[in-house]
Amino acid sequence: MNSEIKMSVSSMTRAGDKKAVYVLFQDVDKTAEFTLPGCELVKNKGFTDEDIRQLKDYIDNEQDTIFAMARQVNPIKAMMGNENKIEGYF
């Protein structure tokens, strides 16, 4: 796995009656998307099983930080020019 994987975090959304956050990891031609809470894998293109395990471990350890990041995202600003979009490197 590349040492610089890009991570993007969505704003807080609703999945049924629960709050949810989507976390996207990108590495050149690979992508993996998870939902929180629960750290469920939504889709994976190119990451190995070991990579997915490491990404899940990261999400499990950083859930509080990821939720805090998601609360800072303004979806209107993000949609109108990617301002306030939360991204970082894993």
Full DSSP string of 16-71: TTEEEEEEEEEETTEEEEEEETTTEEEEEES--HHHHHHHHHHHHHTHHHHHHHHH
Distance set, CA 43 to CA 30, 31, 71, 77, 81 (Å): 11, 8, 23, 26, 26
Delimit the domains of the chain by residue range: 6-89
Percent of the chain with pLDDT over 70: 79
The pLDDT value recorded for residue 74 is 73
The pLDDT value recorded for residue 13 is 87
Q: Tell whether the model's pLDDT for residue 83 goes beyond 60.
A: no
More confidently predicted of 3 and 38: 38
9-53 pLDDT, tens digit each = 998 888 778 889 999 999 989 999 999 999 999 999 999 999 999
Q: Tell whether the model's pLDDT for residue 7 goes beyond 70.
A: yes
Distance set, CA 37 to CA 4, 14, 43, 79 (Å): 24, 11, 16, 24
Q: Tell whether the model's pLDDT for residue 82 goes beyond 60.
A: no
Residues in the chain: 90
- Average pLDDT of the residues in 59-66: 94
